[in-house]
């Protein structure tokens, strides 16, 4: 029971962190700063991926064992995103551009923590419930 409670707490925290990116999306979209200041048209689209993941992780927190695939998706999404960011950071350093490595570590840690807390697979009944009652 402790593991399930810990999973619920982590899902709520990660869900809220992902959902909080709505603020940064708002800042990018407000006054077209993504286009006029940053000249980065992909950032708002990229940030928009975090929001639904946050919503679904918050929904999964109620009954984690019923949302195993959603939790696994979020875990692998964070790991793959962290891996791409690691490659980008190394490439930036090789070209003399300083890039903060903190966010890379955060994404990778979140992904591996979600995988570590992934609920066990539920066993399926061999027969449908309708057949068992007859």
Match 């695939």 to its residue by tokens. 69
Report the share of the chain in percent with pLDDT over 70.
91
pLDDT higher at 122 or 53: 53
In terms of Cβ atoms closer than 10 Å to its own Cβ (0-12, 13-18, 19+), residue 116 is exposed
What pLDDT shows up at residue 65? 94
Domains of the chain by residue range? 2-121
- Would you say residue 128 has pLDDT above 60? no
Q: How does pLDDT run across 102-112, given as a tens digit for each residue?
A: 889 999 999 99
pLDDT higher at 121 or 62: 62
- Would you say residue 81 has pLDDT above 70? yes
How far, in Å, are 11, 32, 83, 101 from residue 7 at the CA level?
Answer: 6, 38, 23, 26
C-alpha span between 23 and 32 (Å, rounded): 14
- Would you say residue 38 has pLDDT above 80? no
Q: Which pTM was predicted?
A: 0.81
- Would you say residue 36 has pLDDT above 90? no
What pLDDT shows up at residue 62? 96
Q: What is the mean pLDDT of residues 64-78?
A: 96
């Amino acid at each position: 029971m402790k593991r399930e409670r810990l999973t619920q707490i982590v899902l709520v925290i990660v869900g809220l962190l992902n959902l909080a990116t709505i603020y940064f999306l708002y800042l990018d979209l407000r006054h077209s700063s993504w286009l006029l200041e940053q000249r980065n048209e992909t950032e708002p689209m990229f940030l928009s991926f975090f929001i639904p993941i946050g919503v679904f992780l918050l929904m999964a927190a109620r009954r984690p064992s019923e949302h195993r695939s959603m939790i696994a998706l979020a875990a692998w999404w964070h790991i793959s995103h962290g891996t791409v960011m690691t490659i980008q950071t190394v490439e930036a350093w090789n070209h003399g551009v300083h890039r903060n490595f903190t966010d890379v570590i955060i994404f990778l840690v979140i992904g591996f923590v979600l995988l570590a807390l992934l609920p066990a697979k539920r066993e399926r009944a061999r027969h449908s419930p309708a057949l068992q009652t007859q």
